[in-house]
Chains A and B, each alone.
Chain A
Amino acid sequence: MQSAAEKLFSTVRAKLQIAPLKYTPPPPAAQQQPRAEREIALQLADRCGLRQIPQHLREIAEQGHALLCPANMSRINVGMASCGQAAGAGPWAARLAARPDFADRVLVRNVGCLGACFGEPLVDVRTPDGLHYLFGQVSSETHWPIIRTAQQRSLQRGAWLVLRERRPGVFTGFEDLAIEKSYRDSFAAFFEHQKRRITGNCGLIDPLSLPEYVATGGYFAFAKALLERRPEDIVAEISASGLRGRGGGGYRTGWKWEAAAASSDRRRFVIANADEGDPGAYMDRTLMESDPHRVLEGIMLAAYACGAGEAYIFVRHEYPLAVARLRRAIGDARGAGLLGESILGTAFALEVGIIQSGGAFVCGEESSLLQVMQGRRGEPWPRPPYPAQRGLHGHPTVINNVETLANVPWIIARGAEAFREAGNDDSPGTKIFCLTGDIPNTGFIEVPLGAGARTVVEKIGGAAHRDVKALQIGGPSGGIVPYTDFAMDFTSLNTAGAMIGSGGLVVLDKSRCLVDLARHLTSFMTEESCGQCLFCRDGLARLANLLENLTNGTGDPGQLEELAELSRAVASLSLCSLGRTAVNPLLTTLRHFRGEYDAHIAGTCPAVYCKPLIRFEIIPFRCTDCQGCLDCPVQAISYQAGKGALGYTFDHGKCTRCRACAEICPHNAIRAVTGGVAP
């Protein structure tokens, strides 16, 4: 029976051709299944191969599950990692949480980052029937739809994507979600082509909540290792998985662990390297901010496997939020009896401390990191001995990158064989990349190693093929390579002259000058050189100087030879990998984009970017004479009224090429041109 009002509404809708807003979920065959609260711990233990669940862990898991999948309440997840906060999610989430009508109907939780940073502030509404409604770029317009979706438990206008729990009421990470309906295809594609293993919790659980992490299977691998496996089994499992370091070097994790475990020295350390210095990479920050317990569990497993009783997390100075969340995670784990003395009733004891660096790129190098931890300047030392043999205070020390450690619980829970299902023989598993630069869908993504560059850039990143000129991969030690469909794994990238580094991927379009970018990265490395080796310290400075000449328009053809020769010398005569790889951006651009260098010598900048080689002009037919550009900070634009576009004159001598006029102009009527010096 339809009421009169409903009839009226449907006639109006039909007349105005508005599709009904209410979204009907699929027939609830699955809803007849018993709710999974009681069995969730059993399911998780099954998946991970844990025979006896400690009662205590079981209780925490049930508690967490009740928060993740509340039976009679909706749950709103607000993304509150650094990116979400910068996009203004903070005050909004607070207002939402304070709503009195939400009290026993809607749970509001602050979560980390789902990876779709372009969609921030991002909100996920989970209704009790196991549907997740994702709202992107939340503004005042989507404020009400979100509240109503949560309250009425059905879709309102404005959602970007609807995800469904494969078994409603069972949610243990992103893998349990399937796409139900997409209202914005690029957003769906962003998730569709990923394989989210270790980022599976990011943006879906509250990083401050230990129970929520446990309810996704967290600490089950640790319990299994501690109660039912020997340390050597864990080392063997990691070796069998073929896991390679995710911080840049790509060294096999198993080898490091074996070396430390084999040592006769009983005092051993584990250090998580979170000194993520690569500009353009923020996977470690995201993991620490969005899923700190996973990092911590990885550290615990490493410590157990290698027989270490002390562990440290060495974090960048620039990541205050990550430090705060890790500190909270360590405190909570200790409270739950997962850290400290006799963990889970065994003889195993572990303390985890946090060291905050002072901001130096070279500290990502493990020997430099150890120097700083011992109160000395971070100057690397020649290896061997490797830290795994003789590290902190002379004791065996396993140093692994944060992302590497975050892989460990997954491998121990599911086994090496399952791990190898993604990636290829040489580079097994998945890798997180940070997609940034000139691309619509910026964010952090997880794909199997060996995925094609076009899948990543075009399908996930949403870029148009013709717009992309080059990719800058692996931070300042990586390279700048032409955009082709190469496989993104350790070997293929090395062949191209780049490296995977920590996984930064800056997409560059035609408006980016690669000579200038090489100059920027080289001078960055010059500043970050610790100064021990002559060629790294002075050679890089000279290279930066030569590149500056080119971008200033004062280069000559002989300089290209000097660039190539000197950079080879820097690469071969430096002690640590900072110096050895610092010239990669320069060498790769010289190899792949020689034409741009030649153009700079001839006095033009093909990307119309380098200040001394460009000038500005007005495109008369676009100009509406609005006078916006007269806001020039150096008054380089003079104006005569009544002459339209022709009334504007640039004083090229005065102009500082700050581009303020071009940015201000609402009609794109001001453009930069290159070639020849202005009159």
Chain B
Amino acid sequence: MADEHSRIAEIMQALPENERQMVNVINQIQEQKGFISRDDLRDLAAQTGQPESSLEGLVSFFSSFRTRPVGRNRVSVCYGTACYTRGADRLHDRLTGELELDADGTSADGFITIDKVQCVGACSLAPVLVCNGTLEGKVKSHQMPAKLRELREDDAKRG
């Protein structure tokens, strides 16, 4: 706990002084830990003197903050207007159809998290997905099973 405590302080210290807004700090926590745990928020509240409830409110307000662990792989399907008109839901349906995901879009074995994102700004390549941080454009739904197979193989290699 003490370790964790200093970890949050470290994250805050790493930010330039004029950028220590709460939303920046929470973004950094998610960046480094993958998600924002209850404990992190409690520590942050203690560090900043803000009530935990207001931090909770801030986190729940945004769609990209996660409060539960994410899968080892992350595929985000862009649902911007351009992607939607060019078949984003077919991609999403095919991906989720191939997997068994919980309400958060994470598979039980922690292999993958599938989520929707509102426009990554690469509309000219629609439909787009972001696979582990890499943009992929002009994808087709029937390529999805192969994509998942590929990710699974890499996943197995890494153990």
Q: Is the CB of B27 within 8 A of A360?
A: no
Minimum CB–CB distance for A308 against chain B, Å: 13
16 chain-A/chain-B pairs, Cβ below 8 angstroms: A83-B124, A277-B118, A279-B84, A312-B18, A318-B64, A318-B117, A320-B133, A356-B23, A358-B27, A358-B63, A359-B118, A377-B61, A435-B124, A442-B124, A475-B81, A656-B93
A376 interface residue, CB < 8 Å from B?
yes
Q: Is the CB of B18 within 8 A of A353?
A: yes
Q: Is the CB of B135 within 8 A of A82?
A: yes
CA distance A451 to B16 in the complex (A): 44
* B16-29 contact mask (Cβ, 8 Å, vs A): 1 or 0: 10110111101100
A117 interface residue, CB < 8 Å from B?
yes
CA distance A527 to B118 in the complex (A): 11
A664 interface residue, CB < 8 Å from B?
yes
CA distance A528 to B136 in the complex (A): 25
* B43-87 contact mask (Cβ, 8 Å, vs A): 1 or 0: 000000010001001110111110000000000000111111111
A86, A317, A435, A631: the one contacting B128 at CB < 8 Å is A86
Q: Is the CB of B125 within 8 A of A660?
A: no
B119, B128, B142: the one contacting A663 at CB < 8 Å is B142
Known: A358-B62, A436-B126, A524-B118. A280 touches B80 (CB 8 A): yes
B84, B122, B141: the one contacting A659 at CB < 8 Å is B141
A354, A530, A663, A664: the one contacting B19 at CB < 8 Å is A354
A373, A377, A530: the one contacting B21 at CB < 8 Å is A373
A448 interface residue, CB < 8 Å from B?
no
Chain B contacts of A395 at CB under 8 A? none
Closest to A520 in B: B84
Known: A282-B122, A376-B54, A663-B141. A358 touches B26 (CB 8 A): yes
A83, A375, A527, A656: the one contacting B54 at CB < 8 Å is A375
Minimum CB–CB distance for A499 against chain B, Å: 15
Known: A279-B82, A356-B27. A83 touches B142 (CB 8 A): no
Minimum CB–CB distance for B119 against chain A, Å: 4
Known: A117-B124, A358-B64, A436-B124. A280 touches B93 (CB 8 A): no
Minimum CB–CB distance for B107 against chain A, Å: 18
Chain B contacts of A376 at CB under 8 A? 54, 57-58
A490 interface residue, CB < 8 Å from B?
no
Which one of A320, A520, A664 has the highest number of Cβ atoms from chain B below 10 Å of its Cβ? A520
Q: Is the CB of B18 within 8 A of A310?
A: yes
Chain A contacts of B19 at CB under 8 A? 353-355
B159 interface residue, CB < 8 Å from A?
no
Which one of B83, B118, B140 has the highest number of Cβ atoms from chain A below 10 Å of its Cβ? B118
CA distance A118 to B82 in the complex (A): 14
CA distance A2 to B4 in the complex (A): 79
Minimum CB–CB distance for A90 against chain B, Å: 10
Given contacts A83-B137, A358-B59, A658-B94, 15 further A-B contacts (CB under 8 A): A83-B124, A86-B122, A277-B118, A279-B79, A281-B123, A318-B117, A357-B62, A358-B61, A359-B62, A360-B63, A434-B124, A633-B94, A658-B93, A658-B97, A663-B141
Q: Is the CB of A476 within 8 A of B81?
A: yes
The dominant DSSP class at the A interface is mixed
B110 interface residue, CB < 8 Å from A?
no
Known: A318-B120, A353-B19, A656-B93. A438 touches B85 (CB 8 A): yes
Could you say which of A16-24, A135-143, A504-512, A640-648 contacts chain B? Answer: A504-512
Q: Is the CB of B97 within 8 A of A633?
A: yes
A118, A355, A658: the one contacting B23 at CB < 8 Å is A355
Q: Is the CB of B125 within 8 A of A86?
A: yes
> Nearest 8 CB-CB pairs, A to B?
A358-B62, A279-B80, A117-B124, A282-B121, A359-B64, A442-B124, A86-B135, A375-B22
A contacts, CB < 8 Å to B: 82-83, 85-87, 117-118, 120, 276-282, 285-286, 310, 312, 317-320, 351, 353-361, 372-378, 434-438, 442-443, 472, 475-476, 504, 506, 508, 512, 517, 520-521, 524, 527-528, 530, 631, 633, 656, 658-660, 663-664
B58, B85, B133: the one contacting A506 at CB < 8 Å is B85
Q: Is the CB of B123 within 8 A of A361?
A: no
Chain B contacts of A374 at CB under 8 A? 21
Known: A280-B82, A658-B93. A442 touches B121 (CB 8 A): no
For B, the interface residue count at a CB cutoff of 8 angstroms equals 53
Q: Is the CB of B126 within 8 A of A358?
A: no
B90 interface residue, CB < 8 Å from A?
yes
Chain A contacts of B121 at CB under 8 A? 82, 276, 281-282, 285-286, 318-319
B24, B119, B125, B141: the one contacting A117 at CB < 8 Å is B125
Chain B contacts of A656 at CB under 8 A? 93, 97
Closest to A276 in B: B121
CA distance A361 to B58 in the complex (A): 14
CA distance A438 to B137 in the complex (A): 15
Minimum CB–CB distance for B108 against chain A, Å: 21
Chain A contacts of B142 at CB under 8 A? 631, 660, 663-664
CA distance A277 to B121 in the complex (A): 9
CA distance A631 to B136 in the complex (A): 23
Known: A282-B122, A434-B123. A375 touches B58 (CB 8 A): yes
Known: A83-B122, A279-B81. A317 touches B94 (CB 8 A): no
Minimum CB–CB distance for B158 against chain A, Å: 22
B24, B119, B136: the one contacting A278 at CB < 8 Å is B119
Minimum CB–CB distance for B16 against chain A, Å: 6
Closest to B55 in A: A375
Q: Is the CB of A437 within 8 A of B85?
A: yes
Closest to A317 in B: B64
Q: Is the CB of B57 within 8 A of A377?
A: yes
Chain A contacts of B117 at CB under 8 A? 318, 359
Chain B contacts of A351 at CB under 8 A? 18
Chain B contacts of A310 at CB under 8 A? 18
Chain B contacts of A436 at CB under 8 A? 81-82, 123-124, 126
Which one of B57, B119, B137 has the highest number of Cβ atoms from chain A below 10 Å of its Cβ? B119
Closest to B65 in A: A358
Minimum CB–CB distance for A645 against chain B, Å: 21
Q: Is the CB of B141 within 8 A of A442?
A: no
Chain B contacts of A524 at CB under 8 A? 79, 118
Q: Is the CB of A443 within 8 A of B79?
A: no
